[in-house]
Amino acid sequence: MVVVHGLLLAVFDLAARPLLSLCLIGVDFAAYFWAARRLETSHSVGAILCVSILLRLFLLPLPPSLSDDTLRYIWDGRVVTSGANPYALAPESPELAPLRDDLWQRMPHREVPTVYPPLALAFFSAASLMPWPLIGIKILLCFVEIIGCLLLLRLAQLRGQAAGLAIWYCWNPLACLEVAGMGHVDGLVVTSQIAAVFYLTKARPLVAATAAAAGVLAKLWPLVALPLWARSSRRPMAFLLVAGGLIFCSLAPVLLSTGGAPPGMVTYGVSWEFNGPLYEPLWRAFDRLDVVPDIKSGLDWAKGWTGYDAHWNRLYPFVYPQFLAKLTLAASFAVFLLSFGWRHEDPVIGSGRLFGALLLCTATVYPWYLLLVLPWAALARHRAWLALSALIQLAYVPHLLSTEHWPYGHLAIWIPFFVLLLRSRWTPPTA
């Protein structure tokens, strides 16, 4: 694996040599599966952690050419340090014109204000003040993620499992590439959620609640796990009060400054879509079945029956296949949560099932989103999700080769995954 990482570094700009890059990433995953399968019974925390650090050090110099998120991170940090409000002002706002430079020119979605919560912005601000902010933010995130790797190793031991199971996350090429290579803030999120479950397992619910709040304030996704983690603690009300209080105190100023939900987050929720495993075929099915006219006819009937035309007219702009698919999947995920998503007694297995269901029900699944599930898939040695960490690299093909993702790329990723998912279960392997 270390040799292949060195070759990746030699390639340097992965987007400039797409076929070679994809081949090397494939070889890297093959070496990873071979090594992890043979070393998963190891109890050597120090050796595993040293290799984890080495793998990330090799990738730090890579330019983030597979994703432009780091450009936005640095811009948002620059806006914060200038004293402006990144939740209210989009990068193209005239008020931010003095901050524009080459980074601004290369950044997409300049019409959308930030979508990142306050803790993430704090990291971005720290990086923007460094002499080399792009490498600086990757160093910060790698430092935090290595702490997450150590906690995952210790968590395996606390559960009576071999520390080597954590290799399935710590040495995973996806985790290394997305945090050390591409600099995604998900490295901060994954460490926060690992810390939350680690301290729950150590029966320290208030520390766990603080870590859980940090995860939400880095990226909102862990919010859905708070009830599960509270149930797993010995003091659920105290857990929710601490986590909820920290989140409320941090987000309330944001909501007040924008007069409600931040517009960037609304835009992301309504408009963003890519590689959603169920979303992509579902909205196309709605389109093929031509359900929109029937729904609009139902709205017409409701207007005539109630007489409240103005209220029903507000719904018409949302009656289109993509939004209907998102609404259907959101309702499905809500049913999952209420039925058994928050009921699992084991926070590791429960977190894996919960975040896995969340990813399957979202409209946007970039490769780095998988970090939400990988730590729990590692400790459960869940074949489907671990295989997906390799398969999801195909989501980069449209970016690298200027091709369409649907249908062939989408099906190549998700059909093998769902076949494996039907044969896999969230059960922890024995020590």
The answer to whether residue 151 sits within a structural domain is: yes
User: Would 176 be classed as within a structural domain?
Assistant: yes
pLDDT at position 257 is 93
Q: Is pLDDT above 70 for 2?
A: no
**Residue range(s) defining the domain that contains residue 367:** 2-66+131-272+327-423
Instruction: Assign 314 a pLDDT band (cuts: 50, 70, 90).
Output: confident
Classify residue 386: in a domain, yes or no.
yes
**Which of left, alpha, beta for 93 (phi over 0: left; psi -120 to 50: alpha)?**
beta
255-312: pLDDT as tens digits: 999 998 999 999 998 889 999 999 999 999 999 999 988 888 888 787 777 777 777 7
The arithmetic mean of pLDDT across residues 111-122, rounded, is 96
Predicted confidence (pLDDT) per residue in 180-215, tens digit: 999 999 999 999 999 999 999 999 999 999 999 999
Identify the residue with better confidence: 287 or 430: 287
Tell me, yes or no, whether 124 lies in a domain: no
Q: Which residues contact 212 (CB under 8 A, 6 or more apart)?
A: 192, 193, 196, 222, 225, 226, 229, 239, 243
Strand partners, 275: 364
Please give the pLDDT value at position 294: 85
Are 365 and 277 a contacting pair, CB within 8 Å?
yes
Cβ burial of 102 (10 Å; 0-12, 13-18, 19+) is: exposed
pLDDT digits (tens, 9 = 90+) for 67-102: 999 999 999 999 999 999 999 999 999 999 999 998
pLDDT of 363: 96
Give the Cα separation of 210 and 189 in Å (integer). 13
* Both structure tokens of 251: 């987000």
pLDDT value at residue 108: 87
- Highest mean pLDDT among 2-11, 102-111, 147-156 belongs to 147-156
CB 95 within 8 A of CB 84: yes
The CA distances from residue 3 to 6, 27, 41, 180, 230, in Å, are 5, 10, 23, 17, 43
pLDDT for res 9? 58
254, pLDDT greater than 80: yes
Which pLDDT score, from 0 to 100, does residue 156 have?
97
The alpha carbon of 28 is separated from its chain's Cα centroid by a whole number of angstroms, namely 22
Helices 279-289 + 321-336 axis angle, to 10 = 130
pLDDT band at 349 (very low <50, low <70, confident <90, very high): very high
Q: Which helix H or strand E contains 184, and what residues bound it?
A: none
Q: What is the pLDDT of residue 315?
A: 79
Return mean pLDDT, the chain.
92
* Percent of the chain's residues with pLDDT above 90: 76
| Unique residue bearing structure tokens 């989009």 | 90
Mean pLDDT along residues 325-334? 95
CA distance 345 to 350: 7
Is there a domain that residue 110 lies in? no
Residue partners of 362: CB distance under 8 A and separation at least 6:
276, 279, 329, 369
Q: What is the pLDDT of residues 163-172, one digit of tens each?
A: 999 999 999 9
Residue 88 lies in a domain: no
CA 162 to chain CA mean position, Å = 27
- Tell me whether residue 135 is in a domain: yes
Number of domains observed in the structure of the chain: 1
Asked whether the predicted pLDDT for residue 408 surpasses 70, the reply is yes
Examine residue 80 and state whether it is found in any structural domain, yes or no: no
pLDDT of 430 above 90: no
At 8, the pLDDT band (50, 70, 90 cuts) reads low
Q: Give the model confidence (pLDDT) of 122-161 as tens digits.
A: 999 999 999 999 999 999 999 999 999 999 999 999 999 9
Q: How far apart are CA 77 and CA 119, in angstroms?
A: 11
Paired tokens of 368:
């780095």
